[in-house]
Amino acid sequence: MLSCLLLLSACAAHGAAEDAASFPEADPVTETLARSEYRIGPSDLLAVTVFQVADLNREVRVNNAGQVSLPLIGGVDVAGRTVGDAEQEIAARYQGRYLQNPQVSVFVKEFSSQRVTVSGAVKKPGIYPMSSRLTLLQSIALAEGFSDIGSLRNVLVFRTIDGERKYARFDVAAINDGEDPDPEIYGDDLIVVDTSAGKVTLKTLVMLAPFVAVWRSYQ
């Protein structure tokens, strides 16, 4: 009897594990941050700061060749690099000849090489340049807000994470009321605002289902 009970307990635990794996609980706002790191592109505006060396601090725009020009070290290739990679490269260039253990920070002030697409039930669907960091509400505002049939409860954000296309569903009404945080939007995101009848999103999801990994299940 004891053996049978142990076997049943093991089976139940295994089944629960399988259920948990099949139906993972995902926080869409937390998952939003689980993306590939942003890579600097041409026309981006960078703020480069060298700790305790104010004369070397600069705001510089990435040129078409993917470089920024900095005091003493000249042109530095930054396009295609992450912010961390750019910091390391600039620090290495300064350390090689001019400074001892320089602490360099790079901040992207304008994401001029990035775009966000807003479609569905908004007043002005389109592709919009990201001149700065954007949230979901700010992105929808670029498209002049919801149309008369737009659903605040069903707004989807499509994003490529680690080479895989995924989506998450957000409740903008809850964000407006302060119940949910306003998630950050990144370059190449696609925002789809559903109609109040729920037809547009369902059709979109059915079409994309074979190619889209569920970032948060649509309910």
Q: In the prediction, which pLDDT does 141 show?
A: 95
Over 70: is that where the pLDDT of 2 sits?
no
The answer as to whether 104 is a domain residue is yes
Are 104 and 179 part of one and the same domain? Answer: no
Are 122 and 106 part of one and the same domain? Answer: no
The CATH number linked to 54 is 3.30.1950.10
Are 96 and 118 part of one and the same domain? Answer: no
DSSP per position, 43-82: T-EEEEEETT-GGG-EEEE--TTSEEEETTTEEEE-TT-B
The CATH number linked to 195 is 3.10.560.10
Over 70: is that where the pLDDT of 12 sits?
no
What mean pLDDT is reported for the chain? 77
Expressed as residue numbers, the domain containing 141 is: 114-214
DSSP per position, the chain: -HHHHHHHHHHHHHHHHHHHHHS----HHHHHT-SPPPB--TT-EEEEEETT-GGG-EEEE--TTSEEEETTTEEEE-TT-BHHHHHHHHHHHHHHHT-SS--EEEEEEE-TT-EEEEEESBSS-EEEE-SS-EEHHHHHHHTTSB-TTEEEEEEEEEEEETTEEEEEEE-HHHHHTTSS---EE-TT-EEEEEETTSHHHHHHHHHHGGG-EESS---
The pLDDT tens digits for 183-205 are 888 888 899 998 876 555 555 55
Over 80: is that where the pLDDT of 17 sits?
no
Are 122 and 179 part of one and the same domain? Answer: yes
- Parallel, antiparallel or unpaired: strands 115-120 and 190-195: parallel
CA distances, 167 to each of 10, 32, 120, 156, 175 (Å) = 35, 9, 15, 7, 18
Question: 17 vs 110, which has greater pLDDT?
Answer: 110
C-beta separation of 31 from 186 below 8 A: no
Are 90 and 170 part of one and the same domain? Answer: no
Q: How many domains does the chain have?
A: 2
C-beta separation of 114 from 129 below 8 A: yes
Are 119 and 208 part of one and the same domain? Answer: yes
Domain boundary among 69, 93, 110: 110
Report how far residue 44's alpha carbon sits from residue 61's, in angstroms, rounded to the nearest whole number.
6
Q: In the prediction, which pLDDT does 134 show?
A: 86
For residue 159, how far is the Cα from the chain centroid? 7
Over 50: is that where the pLDDT of 28 sits?
no
Q: In the prediction, which pLDDT does 196 show?
A: 76
Tally Cβ neighbours within 10 Å of residue 87: 20
pTM, entire model: 0.55
Are 118 and 196 part of one and the same domain? Answer: yes
The pLDDT tens digits for 136-154 are 999 999 999 999 889 888 8
Are 104 and 80 part of one and the same domain? Answer: yes
The pLDDT tens digits for 65-107 are 999 999 999 999 999 899 999 999 999 999 978 999 999 999 9
Query: Going by C-beta distance under 8 Å and a sequence separation of 6 or more, which residues neighbour residue 213?
Result: 164, 165, 166
The answer as to whether 5 is a domain residue is no
pLDDT band at 169 (very low <50, low <70, confident <90, very high): confident
- Supply 184's token pair: 């950050």
Are 165 and 204 part of one and the same domain? Answer: yes
